[in-house]
Amino acid sequence: MPHDYRKTPEALSRLTRSQFKVTQKNGTEPAFRNAYWNNHEPGIYVDVVSGEPLFSSTDKFDSGTGWPSFTKPIGTDAVRSETDATFGMIRTEVRSAHADSHLGHLFDDGPTAAGGQRYCMNSAALRFVPAAELDAQGYGEYRSLFDPADPDSTQERAS
């Protein structure tokens, strides 16, 4: 079933001041003072603007930075990157593919065994969908990431 993950005026009107600053003005929230840096629950993280699936808790790790960090996106087409030359440094900015929300930055200091990348995201750009609520919230296609008894759990996902 195709989904329409766009940025709409209605979606933008629902954002908090912090969410708007991060996603629309390329802001950064404080380390260790955000919703998901220490979240260890199973589930997926979606774009707070569009609901587009971005990351899975199965790829989340404790980077020690104070922001939620992931080794990879939930799918190859979930995010896009571009060069960010602000603050006197060159970094790789990560944005949601469809709504163009600023999410955070990509660094090459992640776990080596998982590819060495660290997607350092702002909690304010994300909404967490617990694994137990995936079906109810319209993300049932991701249930197999968390339920090994699910017959679709052998389905290979984009990496």
Could you tell me which CATH number the domain at 9-146 has? 2.170.150.20
Candidate list 120, 121, 129, 145, residue with the active-site label: 120
Model confidence, pTM = 0.90
pLDDT tens across the length of the chain (159 residues): 567 898 999 999 999 999 999 999 999 999 999 999 999 999 999 999 999 999 999 999 999 999 999 999 999 999 999 988 887 888 999 999 999 999 999 999 999 999 999 999 999 999 999 999 999 999 999 999 997 665 554 444 443
CA contacts within 13 A on the Cβ side of 47: 29
In contact, 40 and 55? CB cutoff 8 Å:
no
Domain ranges (residues) in the chain: 9-146
Secondary structure of 115-143 in HEC code, one letter for each residue: CCCEEEECHHHEEEEEHHHCCCCCCHHHH
Assess whether 120 carries a catalytic annotation: yes
